[in-house]
């Protein structure tokens, strides 16, 4: 190739390379600008304060066992498993304080929902408790306490039909014990137990016990009654 033509070809190649580099640079500027805008928008969205979701209407309170006045201004819902050791401790140490300070004073009503997840007989115990509830709300709470007081070892399947019926008879809770046995064996209230479990999953309940105070999830230490008491008092104040 003559020197002149070779020089022209080289210049043309350099020109094309510069043009390509300029296009790449332009694309990078556009890309970074777009990402910057998106990041800015994300920061703005994150900076906007969000109001905690109000779950006060999340529960069908009228369909649940209730301890206290259903018209009380504060409604507390516990999700529990009758095989859960922590639930037993909560029922023994914390619930009596809630009852003394708020339930007996007409300031709060306490409700229970089943979240049976530990073993198959968690479901059996839940079926028994629901069967008792449908005979008598008052008998339910006597049976509720008895189940936790007579709780077996978590790793063993102790909540058998015979055990559950015999416990009700031993505690003399004043129901039809044959009907109780029939309801457990025929799983009469399985649909309700499943609905309770589905509600727990819907509300992203992580374990038991879990409580909701006027629909708001309590995420603190369940052994710290002072913290629970403060939240209840805040609800009474409308805070």
Q: What is the pLDDT of residues 132-179, one digit of tens each?
A: 999 999 999 999 999 999 999 999 999 999 999 999 999 999 999 999
| Percentage of residues in the chain having pLDDT higher than 90 | 73
Cβ 193 vs Cβ 116: under 8 Å: yes
Per residue in 28-66, pLDDT tens? 433 334 334 333 333 223 233 333 344 555 899 999 999
SS3 52: coil
- Distance set, CA 73 to CA 25, 56, 144, 235, 237 (Å): 65, 11, 24, 8, 10
128, 141, 165, 168 from 178: Cα distances, Å: 12, 19, 8, 11
Whether omega for the bond prior to residue 185 falls within 30 degrees of 0, making it cis, is no
């Amino acid at each position: 190739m003559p020197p002149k033509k070779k020089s022209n070809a080289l210049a043309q190649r350099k020109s094309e390379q510069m043009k390509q580099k300029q296009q790449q640079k332009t694309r990078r500027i556009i890309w970074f600008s777009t990402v910057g805008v998106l990041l800015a928008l994300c920061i703005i969205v994150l900076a906007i304060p969000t109001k905690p979701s109000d779950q006060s209407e999340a529960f069908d309170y009228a369909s649940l066992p209730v301890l206290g006045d259903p018209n009380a201004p504060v409604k507390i819902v516990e999700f529990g498993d009758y095989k859960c050791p922590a639930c037993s401790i909560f029922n023994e140490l914390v619930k009596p304080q809630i009852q003394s300070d708020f339930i007996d004073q007409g300031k709060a009503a306490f409700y229970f929902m089943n979240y049976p997840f530990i073993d198959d007989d968690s479901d059996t115990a839940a079926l028994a408790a629901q069967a008792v509830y449908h005979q008598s709300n008052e008998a339910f709470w006597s049976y509720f306490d008895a189940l936790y007081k007579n709780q077996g070892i978590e790793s063993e399947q102790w909540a058998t039909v015979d055990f559950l019926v015999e416990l009700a008879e031993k505690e003399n809770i004043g129901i039809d014990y044959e009907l109780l046995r029939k309801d457990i064996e025929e799983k009469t209230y399985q649909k309700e137990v499943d609905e309770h479990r589905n509600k727990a999953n819907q509300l992203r309940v992580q374990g038991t016990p879990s409580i909701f105070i006027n629909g708001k999830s309590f995420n603190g230490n369940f052994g710290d009654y002072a913290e629970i008491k403060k939240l209840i008092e805040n609800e009474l104040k409308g805070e």
